Structure 1
Amino acid sequence: MRAITMKDFGDPDVLQLEEVLDPEPRGPQIVVNVSRAGVNYADIHVRGNTYLAPVDLPYTPGNEVVGTTADGRRIVALTRGGGYAEKALVHKRLNWEIPDGVTDEQAVPLALQGNTAWHLLFTVCQIKKGQKIVIPAAAGGVGSIAVQLAREAGAQVIALASTEEKRQLALDLGAHTAIGSGESDLTERIKEAAGGPVHAALEMTGGATLHQTVAALAPRGHLACYGFASGQLTDVSIHHLLENSLTVSGFWLPHLYTDREVSLEFSMKGLFAAVANGTLRTITGGTYPLGQAAQAHRDLAGRQTTGKLSLDTSK
């Protein structure tokens, strides 16, 4: 089969299209014939050897796929690598049959980015109607879904995005207001937009942006971190957390893969239903031939895209 392989860590050019052996399932694994492979910022961390879980080379990136099983089921699935390929191995508990009312294109972002957005909002932050929440990268994969889920839950969404076009998309998706993500006075801009400190915030940039977002939280507020796109890791003042009774949580979706108390089955049903009834619009940011994985990484890292990027294995 054709697959993208990495033999070294480094820039996007380490992603090479090659002919490799078909994967052999073991235990609870099944083989999926991949039609679309999702591209995520986590894949950029894998390529740069900064991912939360180390990988051994040679390696095929990709943690979510859409495709068909040997018995003809059309599924979306989570993988532990191996997604950038014509065939991938998935665990029998980490794949979900796509309803007839949902297209492959709509399903691509749901397993990884959709579940991430859902559980950041409802499992970690436990967002409620009337609360104010900051959502960064609001035109991106996780952000665009989170804006719509939070709006549907009755929250007031303050969206962060880097360009006027992206801010307009966030407003179109239901954000109450949208501000520039790179503002030097981001804390004050958030408070001004929200009419005061916020109840909750998602954060995926790190560095100064994390500190500015924490400073915009109201007493007993909650910050949920799910990335560090800037590459800057930073500490949060314990004194500030105690002074304001703040909670800062880290979130990494793979920790829910085997969690029996938090159901991915439940969140997937909710996401499928929201797409089918029109309350959740998935944004297609670009579909690339499998062999152009490197370009997809460049565009994503360069913040040139909105919504979901994917690789088409038929091209």
Structure 2
Amino acid sequence: MPETIHAVRQHEFGGPEVLRHEPVPRPEPGPGEVRLRVRLAGVNFADTHARENAYVQKAHLPLVPGQEVLGVREDTGERVVALTQGGGAYAEEVVVPQERCVPVPDDLADDQALGLLVQGLTAWHLHRTAARLEGGETVVVHSAAGGTGSLTAQLAKPLGAARVIATAGSPERREAALALGADVAVDPDPEGLTERLIEANGGRPVDVVVDMAGGPGFDASLRALAPFGRIVVCGISTKEQNELRTGHLLRHSRAVVGFWLFHCLEDPERRYRTPLEDLFARAARGEVAVHIGGRWPLAQAAEAHRALTGRRTTGKLLLDVTA
């Protein structure tokens, strides 16, 4: 076996230019771990935040980014998806906890399976666990042409929503959101957003908002909520924190719910494996499909980061480790 593999590694925090394609020591599995030969690694906003050490979990240098892989188990030859522990996905091989490996059905393509891991699981839990979506409710999905947003929009009606309102930042991205099943798509500009959301719901406040951005758009969305409405926070892509007064929540019977996927790993069977298997079954029935917005060789990870943060893509972004 070789003593080294190739990976994307950074030795300092900063912009995409800190990502280097270089030899690294071959990872060795410990107790309860398995080694995967990586085929695909997912590229997520969390990776760009970790690159700058601005993520929920603080990073340590040197860092091999990425937490989402599809690969083949070295011990069994089984094709699986898995979430890594503390990075390591941007590599030819990675070590992961065995309990995080979920077999991929034979009839599901590599890119579709990986696209359902972080974004698909997040979308599923945004509706079921965080928002606790009830039948007949109206759901607003911000950034609905992106990786998480596109799957959140697709899953809303199968999971009970009566109406889906999407936001996206260009006419082309709004058309993409409509093609995913949204009933209406509007501009996400915070100026006038409250009024646009209510108008898009026939003049009525909305029940659920899924927000990935934070900042002024969060405040505008909060004001659009009906009594007992919920806004679910699953990202802060603007890097703008919000302040909230408890009196506002009290007066309007509104709720703000945070969601971070990695808390689901504390209950891996119920909150990780079972929902993912449900997503695989829904994909087989045609209820949900992952739009692949870009694919780069491993050595071009920096360009993938630039495309993601520059809002130049829609859907799921991948690194093809076999290219």
How would you bin the TM-score normalised by the shorter chain?
Answer: over 0.9
User: Is the CA contact 2:36–2:93 (under 8 Å) kept in the aligned structure 1?
Assistant: yes
User: Is the CA contact 1:202–1:226 (under 8 Å) kept in the aligned structure 2?
Assistant: yes
Query: Out of 215, 221, 245, which is 1:213 matched to?
Result: 221
User: Is the CA contact 2:293–2:315 (under 8 Å) kept in the aligned structure 1?
Assistant: yes
Query: Out of 217, 225, 239, which is 1:231 matched to?
Result: 239
| Aligned counterparts of 1:219 and 1:152: Cα–Cα separation in 2 | 24
Q: Does 1:74 align with 2:79?
A: yes
Give the secondary-structure state (helix, strand or coil) at the position aligned to 1:254: helix
Which letter maps to 1:306? T
Q: CA deviation at 1:58?
A: 0.1
Give the secondary-structure state (helix, strand or coil) at the position aligned to 2:132: coil
Residue of structure 1 in register with 2:66 after alignment: 62
Q: CA deviation at 1:259?
A: 2.2
User: Is the CA contact 2:211–2:232 (under 8 Å) kept in the aligned structure 1?
Assistant: yes
Note the aligned Cα RMSD (angstroms).
1.1
| Aligned counterparts of 1:222 and 1:154: Cα–Cα separation in 2 | 15
For residues 277-311 of structure 1, what are the alpha-carbon distances to aligned partners after superposition, in whole Å with 9 as ceiling and x for unaligned? Answer: 11111100011010110000000001000000010
User: Is the CA contact 2:8–2:91 (under 8 Å) kept in the aligned structure 1?
Assistant: yes
Q: CA deviation at 1:153?
A: 2.4
| Aligned counterparts of 2:247 and 2:238: Cα–Cα separation in 1 | 25
| Aligned counterparts of 1:110 and 1:281: Cα–Cα separation in 2 | 9
| Aligned counterparts of 1:262 and 1:229: Cα–Cα separation in 2 | 28
Query: Out of 98, 107, 129, which is 1:92 matched to?
Result: 98
When residues 174 and 36 of structure 1 are mapped into structure 2, their CA distance, relative to the original with a 3 A threshold, is same
User: Is the CA contact 2:212–2:235 (under 8 Å) kept in the aligned structure 1?
Assistant: yes
Q: CA deviation at 1:262?
A: 4.1
Q: Does 1:43 align with 2:47?
A: yes
| Aligned counterparts of 2:268 and 2:249: Cα–Cα separation in 1 | 30
Q: Does 1:14 align with 2:18?
A: yes
Which letter maps to 1:178? A
Which letter maps to 1:62? G
Residue of structure 2 in register with 1:111 after alignment: 117
User: Is the CA contact 1:151–1:175 (under 8 Å) kept in the aligned structure 2?
Assistant: no
Q: Does 1:157 align with 2:164?
A: yes
Q: TM-score, normalised by structure 2?
A: 0.95
What are the equivalent positions in structure 2 for 1:118-137 lying under 5 Å apart? Answer: 118-137=124-143
Q: CA deviation at 1:154?
A: 3.6
Extract structure 1 runs of 4+ deviating beyond 4 A: none
| Aligned counterparts of 2:316 and 2:233: Cα–Cα separation in 1 | 20
When residues 183 and 209 of structure 1 are mapped into structure 2, their CA distance, relative to the original with a 3 A threshold, is closer
Give the secondary-structure state (helix, strand or coil) at the position aligned to 2:25: coil
Q: CA deviation at 1:26?
A: 1.1
| Aligned counterparts of 2:31 and 2:89: Cα–Cα separation in 1 | 19
User: How many residues align structurally?
Assistant: 315
Q: Does 1:286 align with 2:294?
A: yes
Give the secondary-structure state (helix, strand or coil) at the position aligned to 1:139: coil
Residue of structure 2 in register with 1:24 after alignment: 28
Which letter maps to 2:77? G
Which letter maps to 1:213? S
Structure 1: state its 5+ residue gaps: none
